[in-house]
Amino acid sequence: MALATTPVAAQTVVVSEEPEAVSLTVYRGEKYGGQAIDPNWPTGYALVTETRTLTIPAGESVIRFEGVAEGMFPESAIVTGLPKGVKEKNRDARLLSPLGLVDAYLKRQVTITRTERATGKTREYPAMITSAPGGAVILQTNDGYEALHCTGLPERMAFAQLPAKLSAKPTLSVITQSDGPVTAKVTLTYMAAGFDWEANYIAQVQNRGSDGKGKVDLFAWLTLANGGNQSFTNANTMAIAGKPNRENNGPQIKPTGGSLELKCWPNQRTHEVPYNLGYIPAPPPPPPAPAAYMDEEGDSIVVTAQRMRGESLASYSPIAVVVAEQENLGDLKLYRIPEPVTVNAKGQKQVAMLVKPGAAFTHHYSASVENYGVQSEPMTLMLRGKNTIDKGLGLPMPQGQVLVFENSEYGPLLAGEVTLQDRAVGEDVEIAVGTSVDVRMQVTPQSEKANNQRWKIEVTNSRNTPVNIEVEIPYELRGKSKAVTKVNGIPTWKTIVAGNDSATLSYEIKLERD
């Protein structure tokens, strides 16, 4: 709602402090190598739509939309619902803050209040801010020049009035006209930086059979991030997966404002100041005691490791109360949260986006001969599934981090972490769990001729159960072998190695001589 109207010259200022309703559509930022969301200033962006009710007077007026997103692109703002549209737009980027006040009062008079240590009395002095370099405020007083908070006395700085150009919140101002007083429902739509989202997967591996086949309970969180200082309460929220074309017009300038970091040199000579290699933090406190719960009869129940031993993975699976609904948006994918949620300032919001218990996955150990030599090295345990409905999946899977948990007598334990790239419906889904010291491989040269080399692969399995292996040989091979097939165009050796046994393969590669 518009809270007040204040005449200023020939214009009237109408202030709208906050929206009545808001919609938030978040687009992913560009991430490389599985980078997480930047907590200081997320690299994605959002489309924000706000609905506000304004009481607009007759004549020309200035409408102040306070509390817009901090990273707003003002050139993208569209205002609809005004009687005669928008005559002019202005983005008020200077925010009310200690640093903003000092900047606004540069070369202006302020009042310094100091408390004498001996008497406890306070005295006031007029002063002028002459400069405000990083980490210091330079004042000019009757006694000369000095730095704020460097006298050793308790002191504070007071300002005569609030500068008119400072805003308590990020604000968009528009100038409009109306033939008469009117109450209008206005929609403000704009793009804003400082947002991002990502998918965070939890893969809980069920006990696999000796044939390498098994089940995985797959769950994913939709994690939304808001890097600005404005919260979005009860927002209709969506996330867009894909890469819509967007031109880079340079870095977005955040609104000015912030805290002062006043620094003074100690009252010593430089050689008297102890040399400190750095701050060593205190050790962390001990972990809290296990939480106590009450059963139906009122008895206290303490959760311990012994209580968890032997529990099934199902008890560890997150319970999804609200799940984002996936829809198509042209060639992009849209994830809509079915009920309003609050995305707090400088915070993150997580909502379930994928719940697929019992998805079919196979287990195998993978390697490429390019990365191995005569020394025996561990192979990588891989989970492979098919993103189809009949295999328990069958929906687009956005890029994100995957935490893989394996069951144990002590409950689920973390077995690996990997980045999953975007996977469309019908594609293979492969998750690298980690290397295994029980399944190892070595590649040794056997002979070399003018046009070929002969090599031998040996895989050893120290486990008591058989394992499936897949070894890539990314070269042009001489001859044919029934044990080698092409996978995605790369010759690959697939076989089963029995428990406490080994398997070998000899192959020849063609050489190109100059």
Low-confidence ranges of the chain (pLDDT < 50): 3-4, 6-8, 268, 270, 273-283, 285-315
CA 329, chain centre distance (Å): 23
- What is residue 265's predicted lDDT score, i.e. its pLDDT? 55
Using one digit for the tens of pLDDT, what is the confidence trace for 318-328? 666 789 999 99
**290-317 residue pLDDT tens:** 444 444 444 444 443 444 444 444 445 5
pTM over 0.85: no
pLDDT (0 to 100) of residue 31:
72
451 CB contacts (<8 Å, ≥6 apart)? 510, 511, 513
pLDDT at residue 196, rounded to an integer: 95
Could you give the CA distance from residue 170 to residue 347 in angstroms, rounded to a whole number? 18
Task: Write down the pLDDT at residue 294.
Answer: 47
Instruction: Give the type of residue at 114.
Output: R
* Residue 260: per-residue pLDDT: 65
Beta bridge partners of 219: 202, 355
Task: Output b/e per residue, 441-479; b: 16+ Cβ within 10 A.
Answer: bebeeeeeeeeebebebebbbeeeebbbbbbbbebeeee
Per-domain boundaries in the chain: 106-158, 449-510
Ramachandran sector of residue 103 (left: φ over 0; alpha: ψ -120 to 50; beta: rest) = alpha
pLDDT at 386: 96
Which H helix or E strand runs over 99?
helix 98-104
DSSP state, 285? P
Separation of CA 352 from chain center: 16
Element (DSSP H or E) covering residue 506: strand 501-510
